[in-house]
Amino acid sequence: MTRTPQTLLHEILRDLARFGADSSGGVSRLLYTPAWREAHDHLAGVMQRLGLRVEADRVGNLYGRLDGSTPDAPVVLTGSHLDTVTRGGTLDGAYGIAAGIEALVWLRDTWGTPRRPLEVVAFCEEEGSRFPLMCWGSGNVTGMNDCREAGRHRAADGVTLKEAMEAAGFGRATQRESRRTDLGVYVEAHIEQGILLERRGKRIGIVEAIVGQRRLGVTVGGSANHAGTTPMDLRRDALAGVAEMILELEALAVRAGPPLVATVGHVEMRPNTPNVIPGSVMFTLDIRHTNEERLASFCAAVLERFATLAERRGLTLEHAQRSSAQPAPMDARLRDALQSLCEERGLSYQRMVSGAGHDAQMFRSVCPAGMLFVPSRNGVSHSPEEYSSPEALADGLEVLGGLLHRLAYQGLLDG
Amino acid sequence: MTRTPQTLLHEILRDLARFGADSSGGVSRLLYTPAWREAHDHLAGVMQRLGLRVEADRVGNLYGRLDGSTPDAPVVLTGSHLDTVTRGGTLDGAYGIAAGIEALVWLRDTWGTPRRPLEVVAFCEEEGSRFPLMCWGSGNVTGMNDCREAGRHRAADGVTLKEAMEAAGFGRATQRESRRTDLGVYVEAHIEQGILLERRGKRIGIVEAIVGQRRLGVTVGGSANHAGTTPMDLRRDALAGVAEMILELEALAVRAGPPLVATVGHVEMRPNTPNVIPGSVMFTLDIRHTNEERLASFCAAVLERFATLAERRGLTLEHAQRSSAQPAPMDARLRDALQSLCEERGLSYQRMVSGAGHDAQMFRSVCPAGMLFVPSRNGVSHSPEEYSSPEALADGLEVLGGLLHRLAYQGLLDG
Q: What is the pLDDT of residue A402?
A: 97
Residue B288: which of A224, A228, A264 has the nearest Cβ? Answer: A228
Q: What is the mean pLDDT of residues A150-156?
A: 93
A-chain residues near B239 (CB < 8 A):
246, 264, 267
Q: How far apart are the first and last CA of chain B?
A: 24
The CA-CA-CA angle for residues A34, A36, A41, to 5°, reads: 95
Contact B409, B111 (CB under 8 A): yes
pLDDT at res. B337: 98
> Is the Cβ of A323 closer than 8 Å to some Cβ of chain B?
no
CB-based contact (8 Å) between B271 and chain A? Answer: yes
The CA-based dihedral angle spanning residues A122, A124, A129, A135, taken in that order and rounded to the nearest 10 degrees: -90
How confident is the model at residue A156, as a pLDDT? 87
Q: Considering only residues 55 to 84 of chain B, which have any Cβ-Cβ distance to chain A shorter than 8 Å? A: none
| Number of Cβ within a 10 Å radius of residue B99 | 33
Residue range A97-120: average pLDDT?
97
Rounded-to-integer distance, Cα B260 and Cα A233, Å: 11
Taking an 8 Å cut-off on Cβ atoms, the answer to whether B230 and A194 are in contact is yes
- Beta bridge partners, B66, equal B118
Contacts of A88 in chain B (CB under 8 A): 271
Contacts of B264 in chain A (CB under 8 A): 239, 278
- Tens of pLDDT, residue by residue over B62-104, are 999 999 999 899 999 999 999 999 999 999 999 999 999 999 9
- Three-class secondary structure assignment of A255-310: HHCCCCEEECCCEEEECCCCCECCCEEEEEEEEEECCHHHHHHHHHHHHHHHHHHH
- Give the integer Cα–Cα distance in Å for B228 and A91: 17
Q: Decide if B265 touches A, using CB distance below 8 A.
A: yes
**Range 275-294 of A in CB contact (< 8 A) with B:** 275-279, 284, 286, 288
Cβ contacts of A243 on chain B, cutoff 8 Å: 242-244, 246-247
Sign of the CA dihedral running B362, B367, B368, B370? negative
Q: What are phi and psi of B332, to 5 degrees?
A: -65, -35
Closest CA to B8 of B108, B75, B111: B108
Task: Nearest by CB to B357, from A192, A228, A284: name it.
Answer: A228
Residues from chain B that touch A278, judged by Cβ atoms under 8 A, are: 264-265
Are A254 and B232 a contacting pair at CB < 8 A? yes
CB of A400 within 8 A of CB of A345? no
Confidence band (pLDDT; 50, 70, 90) for A275?
confident
Across B251-272, average pLDDT: 96
**Lowest mean pLDDT segment, chosen from A77-81, A223-227, B408-412:** A223-227
First to last CA, chain A: 24
- For the range B68-73, what are the long-range contacts, defined as Cβ-Cβ under 8 Å and sequence gap of 24 or more? B68/B113, B68/B114, B68/B115, B68/B116, B68/B117, B68/B118, B68/B408, B69/B113, B69/B114, B69/B115, B70/B115, B70/B116, B71/B117, B73/B115, B73/B116, B73/B117, B73/B184, B73/B414
CB contact under 8 A, B226 and A194: yes
Chain A residues in contact with B265 by the CB 8 A cut-off are 227, 269, 272-278
Between B259, B273, B381, which is nearest A226 by CB?
B381
Pick the closest to residue B220 from B284, B147, B296 (CA basis).
B284
Query: For chain B, give me the number of helices (H) and strands (E)?
Result: 10, 14
Which member of A88, A129, A228 has the closest CB to residue B355?
Answer: A228
Question: How many whole angstroms separate alpha carbon A357 and alpha carbon A360?
Answer: 8
- pLDDT at position A390: 96
Whether the bond into A34 is cis, omega within 30 of 0: no
**pLDDT tens digits, A169-184:** 999 999 999 999 999 9
Rg (CA), chain A: 23
Q: Which residues of A touch B354 (CB under 8 A)?
A: 228-229
**Pairwise CB contact (< 8 Å): A355 & B246:** no
pLDDT score for B1: 42
| Distance between CA atoms of residues B139 and B232, nearest Å | 48
Q: Which residue in chain B is spatially nearest to A352 when comparing CA positions?
A: B229
- Residue in B with minimal Cα distance to A233: B254
Whether residue B4 has pLDDT greater than 70? no
What does the alpha-carbon distance between residue B224 and residue B238 come to, in Å, rounded to a whole number? 9
Distance from CA of B124 to the nearest CA of A (A): 18
CB A136 within 8 A of CB A161: yes
Confidence of residue A398 (pLDDT cuts 50, 70, 90): very high
Cis peptide before A271 (omega within 30 of 0): yes
Mean residue pLDDT of chain A comes to 95
For residue B3, pLDDT beyond 60: no
Q: Tell me if A275 and B127 make a contact (CB, 8 A cut-off).
A: yes
- Chain B residues 364-383 with CB within 8 Å of chain A: 379-383
SS (H, E, C) chain A: CCCCCCHHHHHHHHHHCCCCECCCCCECCCCCCHHHHHHHHHHHHHHHHCCCEEEEECCCCEEEEECCCCCCCCEEEEEEECCCCCCECCCCCHHHHHHHHHHHHHHHHHHCCCCCCEEEEEECCCCCCCCCCCCHHHHHHHCCCCHHHHHHCECCCCCEHHHHHHHCCCCCCCCECCCCCCEEEEEEEEECCCCHHHHHCCCEEEEEEECEEEEEEEEEECCCCECCCCCHHHCCCHHHHHHHHHHHHHHHHHHHCCCCEEECCCEEEECCCCCECCCEEEEEEEEEECCHHHHHHHHHHHHHHHHHHHHHCCCEEEEEEEEEECCEECCHHHHHHHHHHHHHHCCCEEEEEECCCCHHHHHCCCCCEEEEEECCHHHCCCCCCCCCCHHHHHHHHHHHHHHHHHHHCCCCCCC
Does residue A239 carry a pLDDT above 70? yes
The torsion angles phi and psi of B282, rounded to 5 degrees, stand at -105, 135
**Helix (H/G/I), strand (E/B), else coil: B188:** strand
* B271-277 average pLDDT score: 90
pLDDT in tens, B368-406: 999 999 999 998 888 899 999 999 999 999 999 999 999
Which pLDDT belongs to residue A4? Answer: 60
Give the rounded percent of residues in chain A with a pLDDT score beyond 70.
99
Q: Write down the pLDDT at residue B45.
A: 98
From A121, A97, A116, A186, select the one nearest A366 (Cα to Cα).
A186
Whether A117 and A92 have beta carbons less than 8 Å apart is answered as: no
Of B87, B244, B264, the CB nearest to A239: B264
Closest CA to B36 of B59, B52, B54: B59
% of chain A residues with pLDDT over 90: 87
| Alpha-carbon distance B288 to nearest alpha carbon in chain A (angstroms) | 7
Tell me whether residues A271 and B86 touch, CB distance under 8 A: yes
Beta bridge partners of A316: A221
- Mean pLDDT across the stretch A128-138? 91
Closest CA relative to residue A26, chosen from A94, A74, A76, A80 = A94
Say yes or no to pLDDT of B142 above 70. Answer: yes
CA distances from B4 to A373, A412, B108, B389 (A): 79, 94, 12, 16
Q: What is the C-alpha separation between A81 and B265, in angstroms, rounded?
A: 38
Higher pLDDT among residues A2 and A348, named by residue: A348
In which band, very low, low, confident or very high, does the pLDDT at A134 lie, cut at 50, 70 and 90? Answer: confident
From B221's Cα to the closest Cα of chain A, the distance in A is 14
| Residue B324 touches chain A, beta carbons under 8 Å | no
Q: Which chain A residue's Cα is nearest to B354?
A: A229
Max Cα–Cα distance, chain A, nearest Å: 78
CB contact under 8 A, A275 and B227: no
In the predicted structure, residue B59 carries a pLDDT above the cut 70: yes
Q: Are A176 and A182 in contact (CB under 8 A)?
A: no
pTM here? 0.75
Which of residues A9 and B381 earns the better pLDDT score?
Answer: A9
For residue B135, CA distances in Å to B59, B85, B144, B145 come to 12, 13, 9, 9
Between CA B69 and CA A379 the distance in angstroms is 78
Of the candidates B272, B279, B288, which has its C-beta nearest A383's C-beta?
A: B279
Bridge partners for A380 per DSSP: none
Quote the longest CA-to-CA distance of chain B: 78
Contacts of A239 in chain B (CB under 8 A): 246, 264, 267
Whether A153 and chain B come into contact, CB under 8 Å, resolves to no
Q: Is B300 in the A-facing interface, judged by CB distances under 8 Å?
A: no
pLDDT band at residue A1 using 50, 70 and 90 as cut-offs = very low
Cα–Cα–Cα angle for B189, A277, B383, nearest 5°? Answer: 50
Q: In residues, how long is chain A?
A: 415
Question: If pLDDT is split at 50, 70 and 90, which confidence band does A3 have?
Answer: low
The rounded mean pLDDT for chain B is: 95
Cα distances (angstroms) measured from residue A292 to each of A288, A325, B86: 9, 9, 43
* Segment A21-50 mean pLDDT: 96
Backbone angles phi, psi at A402, to 5 degrees: -65, -40
> What ipTM does this complex have?
0.74
